Amino acid sequence: MEDVAELSPARARERFRAGERAPTAGWCRGWTQANLIAVPAALRYDLLLFAHHNPRACPVLDVGEPGAWSTALFGGDLRTDLPGYRLYRDGRPVADLGEVTAEWREDLVPFLIGCSFTFERALLAAGVPVRHLELGTNVPMYVTNVPCRSAGRLSGPLVVSMRPVPEELVGTAVEVSGRYPRVHGAPVHVGDPAGLGIGDLARPDFGDPAEVRAGEVPLFWACGVTPQAAVMASGVEYAIGHLPGHMAILDARDDDYRVG
């Protein structure tokens, strides 16, 4: 049986294209993962400006032409080669799908947004454990009460991912993730979830819970699901995102996004 950590991006995409469904944390070690958000061309300026205004949450790694289903950094087929999709109409999620070939309108512009899975290998290498990798689950994600800076028709709240980190390793986790500013960088918040308006860590808005144990602190990173929250908050007529945690695996290396 193949170890998913050892797969090439092309091989992982082949498995997803063949129908496999799984969160991608831990897949294709050393390769960059990305969030997908595809919006009608009429909204692409607003989305690009929203991303520019909110760079921690929405670092744009690549953008396709209208109707395109691949980009410079993603050699596969964006309509079939992710392990899960979420379709939105008028701001409401209306279907979770395994592929979106029929739904990929000709005016859709795909954006690939950085993902914090990209620095998890570096966290592990620095001795910082990653709970959802230990558990084999999806990372927990939460809609916060922190508003993003709006752009044109798009506004919405910041979404964050959470990893519990032992107290003595919080500094290391901040420093190591901070070396990857284009894939969310350092945490936006450390400690009390109430500071972000998160009521119950056991009930994430997306993904699976990850228990915070004694001696651990929850660390919150800006999350590339934020554009999907904006699609919902703004009532966007039509959009396709990845299913949270089920990422596009790019033909780019984690180290490409490391600085210093």
Closer to a copy of itself by Cβ: residue 45 or 137: 45
Does position 49 interact with a copy of itself (CB under 8 A)? The reply is yes
Separation of alpha carbons 21 and 80, rounded Å: 11
The H or E element that residue 226 is part of is helix 226-233
Phi, psi of 42 (to 5 degrees): -65, -20
Residue 60 interacts with a copy of itself (CB under 8 A): yes or no: yes
- Size, binding site for a copy of itself by CB under 8 A: 7
Measured from the CB atom, the residue of 60 and 100 that comes closer to a copy of itself is 60
Q: Does the footprint of a copy of itself cover residue 48 (CB under 8 A)?
A: yes
Cβ neighbour number for residue 153 with a 10 Å cutoff: 15
- Confirm or reject binding of residue 56 to a copy of itself (CB under 8 A): no
CA distance 14 to 11: 5
- Of the pair 45, 91, the CB lying nearest a copy of itself is at 45
Beta bridge partners of 216: 166
Q: Which of residues 7, 12, 25, 63 is near a copy of itself by CB under 8 A? A: 63
Can you read off the two tokens belonging to residue 194? 């109430």
- Candidates 19, 21, 52, 135; binder of a copy of itself (CB under 8 A) is 52
Distance of CA 9 to CAs 17, 122, 154, Å?
12, 18, 32
Site string for a copy of itself, 1-40 (x = CB under 8 A): ----------------------------------------
Say if CB 39 and CB 61 are below 8 A apart. no
Question: Of the candidates 13, 26, 38, 44, which one interacts with a copy of itself according to CB under 8 A?
Answer: 44
3-state SS, residue 16:
helix
List contacts with a copy of itself (CB under 8 A). Answer: 44-45, 48-49, 52, 60, 63
